[in-house]
């Protein structure tokens, strides 16, 4: 959907606000549910990511941002780094969706997202998010790695070795492009494996840059990371 039509949807939702509260709330929730799946929620031209690429309304395996059910009742976000829901969402829009301007919370889109989040009832306790250690997880199972890769990495990077079906053109084909960018005359074998581990655990953070979200230990265990590296045949 183009950005113009998103704005139009917003205008329609606003127009419906003069109706009775139930209709107004329901249409805002429906509007939010649609926006949740749309990269146009960020005006940045290079952004291909939507809230739904990293979050769901209920617990789902391998989603970096986890379930947002109950999020409007949580008292802290991002492991205590953000104290408001708006701040937490702006964090995602800035780091992962490349939006320069934070939402004030008054935008039609922001209000619709809020209504949608509020409609997901669930766990109000702060989500636990543990940044894993950047250590070589050792050998794993290629068979399990295939399934884990599909769940955790493939939606953005596309299929291993070909990149087929990649969502974000900026995401490298794994492992080949990443290995090529870290040649053996500049990096040791151990350092090259750690690039995969560090990127998975830190994403764009800790000076790494880019747009990739970090995957916590709760989302992906060290054993599963070992399975992925074995499946990808990272030497």
Q: Is 147 helix (H, G, I), strand (E, B) or coil?
A: helix
Extract the tokens encoding 103: 């939402």
Q: Which two tokens stand for residue 192?
A: 């090259």
Alpha helices in the chain (DSSP H): 3-15, 21-35, 85-95, 108-119, 142-152, 154-157, 176-181, 189-202, 222-231
- Out of 29, 67, 73, 74, name the contact with ligand HEC by CB under 6 A: 74
Tokens 């379930």, located at residue: 67
Tell me whether residue 27 or residue 232 sits nearer to ligand HEC (CB atom). Answer: 232
Q: Shortest approach of ligand HEC to residue 20 CB, angstroms?
A: 27
Q: Which stretch binds ligand HEC (CB under 6 A): 2-10, 11-19, 137-145, 198-206?
A: 198-206
Interface with ligand HEC includes 166 (CB under 6 A)?
A: no
Q: What are phi and psi of 37, to 5 degrees?
A: -100, 5
Please answer whether residues 226 and 140 qualify as being in contact, where contact means their C-beta atoms are separated by less than 8 angstroms. yes
Q: Is the Cβ of residue 22 or residue 168 nearer to ligand HEC in the bound state?
A: 168
Query: Per rule CB under 6 A, is residue 160 in the interface with ligand HEC?
Result: no
Contacts to ligand HEC by CB under 6 A: 41, 49, 51, 53-55, 64-66, 68, 71, 74, 77-79, 85, 88-89, 92-93, 96-97, 113, 127, 129, 152-153, 155-157, 168, 170-172, 174, 178, 181, 195-196, 199-200, 204, 210-215, 220, 228
């Amino acid at each position: 959907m183009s950005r113009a039509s998103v704005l139009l949807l917003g205008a329609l939702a606003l127009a419906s606000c003069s109706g009775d509260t139930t209709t107004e709330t329901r249409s805002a929730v429906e509007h939010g549910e649609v926006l949740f799946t749309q990269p146009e929620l960020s005006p940045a031209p290079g952004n291909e990511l939507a809230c739904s690429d990293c979050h769901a309304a209920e617990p789902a395996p391998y989603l970096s941002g986890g379930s947002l059910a109950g999020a409007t009742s949580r008292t802290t976000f991002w492991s205590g780094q953000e104290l408001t829901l708006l701040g937490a969402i702006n964090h995602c829009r800035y780091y992962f969706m490349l939006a320069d301007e934070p939402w004030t919370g008054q935008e039609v889109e922001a209000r619709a997202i809020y209504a949608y989040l509020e409609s997901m009832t669930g766990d109000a306790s702060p989500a636990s998010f543990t940044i894993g250690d950047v250590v070589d997880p050792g050998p794993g199972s290629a068979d399990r790695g295939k399934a884990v890769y599909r769940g955790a990495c493939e939606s953005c990077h596309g299929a291993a070795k070909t990149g087929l079906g990649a969502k974000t053109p900026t995401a490298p084909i794994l492992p080949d492009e990443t290995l090529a960018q870290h040649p053996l005359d500049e990096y040791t074998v151990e350092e090259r494996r750690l690039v995969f581990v560090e990127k998975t655990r830190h994403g764009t953070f800790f000076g790494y840059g880019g747009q990739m979200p970090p995957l916590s230990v709760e989302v992906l265990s060290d054993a599963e990371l070992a399975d992925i590296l074995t499946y990808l045949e990272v030497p």
